[in-house]
């Protein structure tokens, strides 16, 4: 049901009933406004600004969040069904959980600027190791991206717009930025899901090695992964050496976000991100 089914006057009247003492009336009003869909959000936000009633403001906040969350879930379902499961689009969708007003075009422009910085120093005829060293030099020396070791479990580390702004992130967010740049350059670089760490692999028939974006793009070998697994007393599996999908990257980002909210005691957010995770994990 669209907004055009109700006049502005009717919408104003509905919002004014949000602090009605009769819970049944209030519940009916919430359902009626929610049924309009996310098109009603700008109207509700305007009413929030105009209202001096904290009870109505709280009701509007909850309703807007509910509508935004429903929109996020729909976007995530559409992304899951999409053919290419574009990584930046997926990260943007997750980002809108904390920053619902973030426009994809803004995120895309910020990422393109980083790509441009790398591209101007790049040469396709270089050897794989040299190509990676150029990316490392631009991302970690010139642009100063680095590991957020002080606030490792901050939710901001899973929000790509925050990582682009602060230049600090966790293994998977730093790898995601690196990966997006590498893909745009046409390089055979992919994500790799390791226990307790997310890394990248440069993988062709002729060359195969690994990159740790959390450690300024450190290059390492398959044997180093074996040593790492041995140290953790974890049995080796093929998945620890092979490229993972964009969906895997988003799933891991969500799991990081769940841990972050658990540590902050924000259990409602834990439940909501678990809902998002379920959408991706369901077959």
Show Cβ contacts of residue 190 under 8 Å, excluding neighbours closer than 6 positions. 179, 200, 201, 203, 243, 244
With beta carbons less than 8 A apart as the criterion, state whether 192 and 199 touch. yes
CA distance 92 to 40: 22
Long-range contact pairs involving 71-75 (C-beta distance under 8 Å, separation at least 24): 71/38, 72/96, 72/97, 72/100, 72/276, 73/275, 73/276, 73/279
SS (H, E, C) the chain: CCHHHCCHHHHHHHHHHHHCCCHHHHHHHHHHHHHHCHHHHHHHHHHHHHCCCHHHHHHHHHHHHHHHHHHHHHHHHHHHHCCCCCHHHHHHHHHCCCCCCCCHHHHHHHHHHHHHHHHCCCCCCCCHHHHHHHHHHHHHHHCCCEECCCCCCCHHHHCHHHHHHHCEECHHHHHHHHHHHHHHCCCCEEEEEECCEEEEEEECCCCEEEEEHHHCCEEECHHHHHHHHHHHCCCCCHHHCCCCCHHHHHHHHHHHHHHHHHHHCCHHHHHHHHHHHHHHHCC
Tens digit of pLDDT at every position of the chain (283 positions): 444 467 777 787 787 777 666 778 777 777 888 888 778 888 888 878 887 888 878 888 888 898 999 999 999 999 999 999 999 999 999 999 999 999 999 999 999 999 999 999 998 789 999 999 999 999 999 999 999 999 999 999 999 999 999 999 999 999 999 999 999 999 999 999 999 999 999 999 998 999 999 999 999 999 999 999 999 999 999 999 999 999 999 999 999 999 999 999 999 999 999 999 999 999 7
CA distance 3 to 46: 15
User: What distance separates the 2 farthest-apart alpha carbons in the chain?
Assistant: 72
pTM higher than 0.85: yes
> Token pair of 18, please?
């949000």
- Domain-by-domain residue ranges, the chain? 3-81, 87-281
> Token pair of 51, please?
């209202």
With beta carbons less than 8 A apart as the criterion, state whether 225 and 66 touch. no
């Amino acid at each position: 049901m669209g907004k055009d089914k109700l006049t502005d006057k009717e919408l104003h009247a509905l919002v004014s009933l949000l602090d009605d003492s009769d819970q049944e009336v209030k519940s009916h009003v919430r359902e009626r406004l929610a049924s309009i869909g996310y098109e009603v959000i700008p109207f509700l936000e305007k009413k929030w600004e105009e209202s001096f009633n904290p009870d109505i403001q709280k009701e509007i906040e909850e309703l807007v969040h509910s509508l935004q969350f429903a929109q996020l879930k729909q976007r995530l379902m559409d992304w899951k069904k999409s053919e290419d499961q574009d990584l930046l689009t997926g990260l943007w969708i997750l980002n809108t959980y904390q920053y619902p007003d973030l426009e994809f075009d803004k995120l895309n422009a910020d990422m393109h600027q980083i790509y441009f910085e790398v591209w101007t120093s790049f040469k396709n005829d270089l050897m794989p190791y040299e190509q990676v060293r150029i990316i490392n030099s631009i991302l970690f020396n010139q642009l100063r991206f680095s590991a957020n070791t002080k606030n490792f479990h901050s939710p901001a580390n899973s929000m790509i717009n925050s990582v682009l702004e602060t230049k600090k992130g966790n293994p998977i967010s730093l790898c995601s930025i690196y990966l997006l740049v590498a893909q745009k350059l046409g390089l055979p670089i992919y994500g790799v899901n390791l226990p307790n760490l997310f890394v990248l692999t440069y993988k062709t028939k002729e060359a195969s090695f690994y990159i740790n974006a959390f450690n300024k793009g450190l290059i390492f070998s398959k044997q180093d992964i074996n040593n790492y697994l041995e140290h953790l007393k974890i049995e080796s599996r093929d998945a620890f050496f092979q490229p993972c999908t964009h969906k895997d990257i988003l799933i891991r980002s969500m799991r990081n976000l769940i841990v972050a909210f658990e540590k902050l005691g924000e259990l409602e957010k834990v439940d909501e991100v678990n809902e998002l995770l379920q959408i991706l994990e369901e077959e």
